[in-house]
Chain A
């Protein structure tokens, strides 16, 4: 069973087609990078995957559960880190995580245990009572990842999670998520418009103007990856 299966997905903002006959799948435990220039449709795809937007055409299956027919089961499998921070700045780290746990119906005691575990895993145990407003960008992202993992999802979506971070924090975040992917057999879909965030073993999906224009292991592209990306951000579709 695939971790994620997107079939014949299309979405339009009025007359503007944002996604067009998009189809791809992710195997469990893989790190996939969804690469595309700004406006390629990455955030629209995330909004559809998370049910923020209703499906217009096509379907999405998350570990076999159709988002159209069984959204609750599908969403249970999903953890999300949005491009724009969704933390409540005035609440503490602990309070933000407890709120998320409650939204997923976790009993208090279990939620508390998981919060401690995730904060320790993200090396944020000491900051649990700090207000999110007091944290730097990198730490905020870590809190968002801890939050996204609280309900033990099997698929983690990160929408341009490195946006706004300094180079060192970006690198650390990428390493950290890859480590999570390996350690917990987590499937990760990482959207980005930055080529240097893609590594050799990653499954690569290239999106342009709402269409999948290339797909394969990043190392299959060989030295041509940079050129492919340049072509992608320019105009013509590219092949691996």
Chain B
């Protein structure tokens, strides 16, 4: 058992060291949601009135509404950046060090997922701290009750990132992930607008948003921040995390790239 623990610790420590060394990565992860919060939300505050919807007990500002979505945005970008790092590691050869470990490959990949997820959480809490100072203040205990929800969402998005990285042939193809994964997931969700507003605009747009896994992730975090449980969102996130992680492990095979090149 200690062998597994040491391995997990080593992988998490490496991710931490890389994170500490890349301060610009930390700053850019914060700048993106802060721009949305401080600039975009300030501009749209007057235009977008938010009715009383669960889990909120009263009228809220637009800034309050989008904070859970922006927290998930950090997790989304980190998950996809994790996928980019996997492709980079694969191309640069450093993935080989991980894969020649005698421990089971599924465990190694799960450890990598967990390590990336934990680093993402640090960034989310840094963002929540700034949002708190700015005036978006969920209940203090909500910050604690949101931790498992945030961890689950981070794992979900990292597993999706790992799954995608298995299909990306080259680093250059990563731009496609931005256009076809990140943007649709984020904009077609409840991160920026409540679903009822989407329904007012278009029925099919509403259904796209309602079926988007990222909407469930956002709602899980939104409810957890206010110490409430959104059971359906939890079940969807749990199920998808398990599915994506399983598919990611099953489809992970370093020889695929070589075979594809030859084929």
Whether both chains belong to one complex is answered with yes
Contact status B93-A13, CB under 8 Å = no
A9 beta carbon closer than 8 Å to chain B: no
Q: Measured between alpha carbons, how far is A90 from B18 in the docked complex, in Å? A: 8
Chain A residue with Cβ nearest B8 = A102
B199 beta carbon closer than 8 Å to chain A: no
Once A72-B103, A100-B97, A102-B11 are accepted as A-B contacts, the answer to whether A54 and B263 lie under 8 Å apart by CB is: no
- Interface centre among A47, A73, A80, A102, by most chain B C-beta atoms within 10 angstroms, is A102
Which residues of chain B come closer than 8 Å to A16, judged between CB atoms? Answer: 262
Contact status B100-A105, CB under 8 Å = no
Chain A residue with Cβ nearest B99 = A52
Digit string of A70-105 for contact with B (CB within 8 Å is 1, else 0)?
011101101010101111101100010011111111
Which residues of chain B come closer than 8 Å to A54, judged between CB atoms? Answer: 253, 255
Q: Which residues of B111-151 have CB atoms within 8 Å of chain A's CB atoms?
A: none
Chain A residue with Cβ nearest B98 = A103
Q: Which residues of B203-254 have CB atoms within 8 Å of chain A's CB atoms?
A: 253-254
Contact status B17-A86, CB under 8 Å = no
B52 beta carbon closer than 8 Å to chain A: no
Q: Residue B97 contacts which of A53, A75, A103 (CB distance < 8 angstroms)?
A: A103
B45 beta carbon closer than 8 Å to chain A: no
Contact status B14-A91, CB under 8 Å = yes
Q: Measured between alpha carbons, how far is A111 from B2 in the docked complex, in Å? A: 13
Q: Residue B10 contacts which of A52, A85, A102 (CB distance < 8 angstroms)?
A: A102
Number of contact residues on A: which range applies?
A: 35 or more
Contact status A104-B14, CB under 8 Å = no
B7 beta carbon closer than 8 Å to chain A: yes
A152 beta carbon closer than 8 Å to chain B: no
Contact status B4-A105, CB under 8 Å = yes
Contact status A98-B96, CB under 8 Å = no
Q: Measured between alpha carbons, how far is A86 from B6 in the docked complex, in Å? A: 21
Which residues of chain B come closer than 8 Å to A175, judged between CB atoms? Answer: none
A179 beta carbon closer than 8 Å to chain B: no
Contact status A88-B14, CB under 8 Å = yes
Contact status A71-B97, CB under 8 Å = no
Contact status A103-B10, CB under 8 Å = yes
Contact status A50-B100, CB under 8 Å = yes
A107 beta carbon closer than 8 Å to chain B: yes
Digit string of A102-131 for contact with B (CB within 8 Å is 1, else 0)?
111111100100000000000000000000
Q: Residue B258 contacts which of A13, A82, A85, A86 (CB distance < 8 angstroms)?
A: A13
Digit string of A13-42 for contact with B (CB within 8 Å is 1, else 0)?
111100000000000000000000000000
B23 beta carbon closer than 8 Å to chain A: no
A51 beta carbon closer than 8 Å to chain B: yes
CB of B186, distance to nearest CB on chain A (Å): 30
CB of B121, distance to nearest CB on chain A (Å): 21
Which residues of chain A come closer than 8 Å to B11, judged between CB atoms? Answer: 99, 102-103
B3 beta carbon closer than 8 Å to chain A: yes
Chain B residue with Cβ nearest A96 = B97
Q: Measured between alpha carbons, how far is A25 from B61 in the docked complex, in Å? A: 73
Which residues of chain A come closer than 8 Å to B255, judged between CB atoms? Answer: 47, 52-54
Contact status A13-B261, CB under 8 Å = yes
Which residues of chain B come closer than 8 Å to A105, judged between CB atoms? Answer: 2-4, 6-7, 103
B176 beta carbon closer than 8 Å to chain A: no
Which residues of chain B come closer than 8 Å to A100, judged between CB atoms? Answer: 97
Which residues of chain B come closer than 8 Å to A106, judged between CB atoms? Answer: 6
Q: Residue B7 contacts which of A76, A84, A102 (CB distance < 8 angstroms)?
A: A102
Could you write out 9 A-B pairs with CB less than 8 Å apart? A13-B261, A14-B262, A72-B103, A87-B94, A91-B21, A99-B10, A99-B97, A104-B102, A105-B4
Show the binding face of A for B, using Cβ within 8 Å. 13-16, 47, 50-54, 71-73, 75-76, 78, 80, 82, 84-88, 90-91, 95, 98-108, 111
Other A-B pairs beyond A103-B11, A105-B2, 20, CB < 8 Å: A13-B258, A13-B261, A13-B262, A14-B259, A14-B262, A51-B100, A52-B255, A54-B253, A72-B102, A82-B96, A84-B92, A90-B22, A91-B14, A99-B14, A101-B6, A102-B7, A102-B11, A103-B97, A105-B7, A107-B6
The 8 closest A-B pairs by CB, nearest first: A102-B10, A105-B3, A13-B262, A103-B101, A75-B102, A14-B263, A53-B255, A84-B93
